[in-house]
Structure 1
Amino acid sequence: MELKPEQLAAQVASEPLRPAYLIAGPEPLRVLEAADAVRAAARAQGIAEREVFEAEGNQREPDWNALEASFRAPSLFASRRLVELRLPGGKPGKDGAEVISGFCADPPQDVSLLITCGEWSKQHGGKWSEAIARVGKVAIAWQVKPHELSEWIERRLRARGLRADRDAVQSLAERVEGNLLAAAQEVDKLALLSDGEPIDLARMQSLVADAARYDVFRLVDAAMNGQGAQVSRMLAGLRAEGEAVPGLLGMVVLELQRGAALARVHARGGNLAAEFKAQRVWESKQPMYRRALQRHDARRWDAFVAQAGRVDRMAKGRESGDAWIALERLLLAVAETRAARLLAAGA
């Protein structure tokens, strides 16, 4: 049975740890919090030892032989262990599927397996995920749809001991525009600022910041996440607010250079996890970069950086052209592979 991450988090806190858990999906916050709930339950049940397996060096997959050996090896420091397997792409391949299925067929009594995936669809599952479901739990963190956001926020408010009327909840949903991390941060802020009284619309508006402001950070995130329509809307908002292209380009160039560096490591089969660390990319944002890397190769990322230089020259009057149009074409090309022709048209 497929659970929601929030259901899994509630269950794991009140029952003995199962042999295996699979938490996957495109919503990083929900995956992270459900995995944290499993880790917290493990600690509460006296499981102090933890091992983590993910791709390293030139490998595109974890060391399956080492993982299989770890399942059968005795614990060095504790009677029970939590073994974590991180699969950002959501597919273990043939060898990995066999190792996972073998584990589930005869789970060691001293090991609980936690698998997290940054991507998921019906094509990602298979006999290996079905094997996990038979002995453990499977939770899929689908993105919260616009009509579901208010309910998600209301549940989070209740979990923090807060009460808000429908208009207040809807107002917060409109401010965060589907960004669950922003919504979670605002709820945490409300928990600190509220005096326990019910929150109406006026009070909500006075307590929370306008998280839906069109800022450059969210603009770049939209481009990296492949949200072309949102890119255009945010750029229009920034322009209407009186922002200038040179003021936006610093962050845009930084992210494009970061993408280019990651793409070069990815192209040569290098240690992408280490490069994420070197580039100071938070774990919650890594799935966004991985999706962007799947859309464009290293050569195209270098072209994006070069085009950003042209936009800068346009903005400073050193090259002819409309800097706003050129910037939009650039970010749309980052967001959507098919929009690359717009970039070529502006060359």
Structure 2
Amino acid sequence: MRIFADRLVEQLNKQLHPTYLIFGSEPLLIQESRQAIQKAAFAQGFEERHRFAIDSSFDWNAVYDCCQAMSLFSAQQIIELELPESGVNAGIAKELLSVSEMLHSDIIFVLIGSKLTKAQENAKWFKALANNGCWVNCLSPDIQRLPQFVQTRCRALNLKPDQEAVQMLAQWHEGNLFALTQSLEKLALQYPDGILNLVRLEESLSRHNHFTAFHWIDALLAGKAKRSQRILRQLEAEGVESVILIRTVQKELTQLLNMANQIQIKPIGQVFESYRIWQSKRPLYSAALNRLQARKIIQLLQLLAKIELLVKTQYDQSSWPLLHQLSTEICLPQVKL
């Protein structure tokens, strides 16, 4: 069973599964998921907790010893296993399969890792564990899901934001869920009646949104001009090195040019497969390829080369105005002659 992290408590109230697979890129959701499972397990008598982090020198015998501790005097256990940042290699996969065969009713097994790849979802070790448990998705909510996420958090704190307040909270805290949680707790204390509107938000909070170069790229691919400019202004204000953005957008434009040439002779789905484009990202690339012809992409790469030359030779001149120009031109709809 697969659920989003914000539905985990609801699921735990119905049933405690023997296995939980917590995967994603959002630290707050991972932390809260772990705590929710611990609380639910403790309430059902799982009083002993063992926590392991896998590294190159990890001794799997410690995990096996916990799994084999079955007797009338053994406490029910929670075993937490953190995967390395590099993911699951062949050796770890083999050990996880072995562990899956040793689990029993006196163990709640929790596996924690970063965002899953398609190959990992289809791997034997993952299926062996997922078949007996719950896969908790801890990815950061995107800009479409974030307002609903804000509303759910507000309800839990008896806060009653109007629609404008929800949108503002989402915009101000995009990419920084820890700050969102802190802001909502502050608002709950400051306004006991729970009513939130723009006036109260502006009086109480400062902006906590945290954007990365990848947020900017997604906005560019989608052709969202206003959003891309807002993100770029925020990155500039945070002191992000322009060369990082140059390198990131250069990679994307080069890939788009190659893809634009290939879709002339291949189905677009086949092109996406060859570049390993995630299903969730394909609408963004489709939008960019519908908007930008090969000739236009070449012009954008030429402008990018001009920006890079400026960065490397004209130290007294800012490259940000040209980056804003590039951002605008990438988002412009294609003019058909």
Whole-Å separation in 2 of the counterparts to 1:128 and 1:77? 31
Instruction: Give the match's secondary structure for 1:123.
Output: helix
* Larger CA deviation: 154-163 vs 26-35: 26-35
Out of 97, 113, 118, the residue aligned to residue 117 of structure 1 is 113
Matched, 1:321 2:315: yes
Query: What letter corresponds to residue 10 of structure 2 in structure 1?
Result: A
Q: Map Cα deviations across residues 308-329 of structure 1 (whole Å, 9 max, x no partner).
A: xxxxxxxxxxxx9339669xx9
1:14-33 correspondence runs (5 A)? 14-15=14-15, 17-33=16-32
Matched, 1:179 2:173: no
Whole-Å separation in 2 of the counterparts to 1:194 and 1:76? 52
Matched, 1:132 2:121: no
Counterpart of 1:50 in structure 2 is 49
Instruction: Give the match's secondary structure for 1:233.
Output: helix
Out of 116, 141, 145, the residue aligned to residue 144 of structure 1 is 141
Q: CA deviation at 1:142?
A: 2.2
Give the TM-score taking structure 2 as reference length.
0.61
Aligned residues: CA RMSD: 3.3
Give the TM-score taking structure 1 as reference length.
0.59
Counterpart of 1:82 in structure 2 is 78
Whole-Å separation in 2 of the counterparts to 1:68 and 1:78? 15
Counterpart of 1:9 in structure 2 is 9
Q: CA deviation at 1:108?
A: 2.1
Query: What percentage of residue pairs aligned between the two structures are identical?
Result: 29
Out of 206, 209, 212, the residue aligned to residue 209 of structure 1 is 206
Structure showing greater Rg: 2
Q: CA deviation at 1:232?
A: 4.9
Counterpart of 2:295 in structure 1 is none
Whole-Å separation in 1 of the counterparts to 2:171 and 2:95? 45
Are the structure 2 counterparts of residues 176 and 85 from structure 1 closer, same or farther at C-alpha, using a change threshold of 3 Å? same
Matched, 1:66 2:62: yes
Confirm or deny: 8 A CA contact 1:153 1:169 kept in the other structure.
yes
Are the structure 2 counterparts of residues 80 and 211 from structure 1 closer, same or farther at C-alpha, using a change threshold of 3 Å? same
Q: Map Cα deviations across residues 259-281 of structure 1 (whole Å, 9 max, x no partner).
A: xxxxxxxxxxxxxxxxxxxxxxx
Whole-Å separation in 2 of the counterparts to 1:324 and 1:33? 42
Counterpart of 1:166 in structure 2 is 163
Residue correspondences, number:
239
Counterpart of 1:271 in structure 2 is none
Q: CA deviation at 1:2?
A: 1.4
Are the structure 2 counterparts of residues 135 and 235 from structure 1 closer, same or farther at C-alpha, using a change threshold of 3 Å? closer
Confirm or deny: 8 A CA contact 1:49 1:77 kept in the other structure.
no
Whole-Å separation in 2 of the counterparts to 1:48 and 1:136? 20
Q: CA deviation at 1:94?
A: 2.9
Q: CA deviation at 1:172?
A: 1.3
Whole-Å separation in 2 of the counterparts to 1:142 and 1:14? 23
Q: CA deviation at 1:65?
A: 3.5
Are the structure 2 counterparts of residues 162 and 227 from structure 1 closer, same or farther at C-alpha, using a change threshold of 3 Å? closer
Q: Map Cα deviations across residues 24-78 of structure 1 (whole Å, 9 max, x no partner).
A: 011221122111111111222232211111135x53xx33343223311347985
Extract unaligned runs of 5+ from structure 1: 213-217, 239-244, 250-319, 330-347
Instruction: Give the match's secondary structure for 2:195.
Output: coil
Whole-Å separation in 1 of the counterparts to 2:66 and 2:102? 14
Confirm or deny: 8 A CA contact 2:19 2:110 kept in the other structure.
yes
Instruction: Give the match's secondary structure for 2:161.
Output: coil
Q: CA deviation at 1:87?
A: 0.8
* Larger CA deviation: 88-97 vs 155-164: 88-97
Are the structure 2 counterparts of residues 53 and 186 from structure 1 closer, same or farther at C-alpha, using a change threshold of 3 Å? same
Are the structure 2 counterparts of residues 197 and 79 from structure 1 closer, same or farther at C-alpha, using a change threshold of 3 Å? closer
Confirm or deny: 8 A CA contact 1:8 1:137 kept in the other structure.
no
Counterpart of 1:104 in structure 2 is 100
Instruction: Give the match's secondary structure for 1:26.
Output: coil
Q: CA deviation at 1:14?
A: 4.0
Confirm or deny: 8 A CA contact 1:85 1:114 kept in the other structure.
yes
Q: CA deviation at 1:90?
A: 6.9
Query: What letter corresponds to residue 322 of structure 1 in structure 2?
Result: D
Whole-Å separation in 2 of the counterparts to 1:182 and 1:323? 35
Whole-Å separation in 2 of the counterparts to 1:233 and 1:183? 21
Confirm or deny: 8 A CA contact 2:54 2:84 kept in the other structure.
no
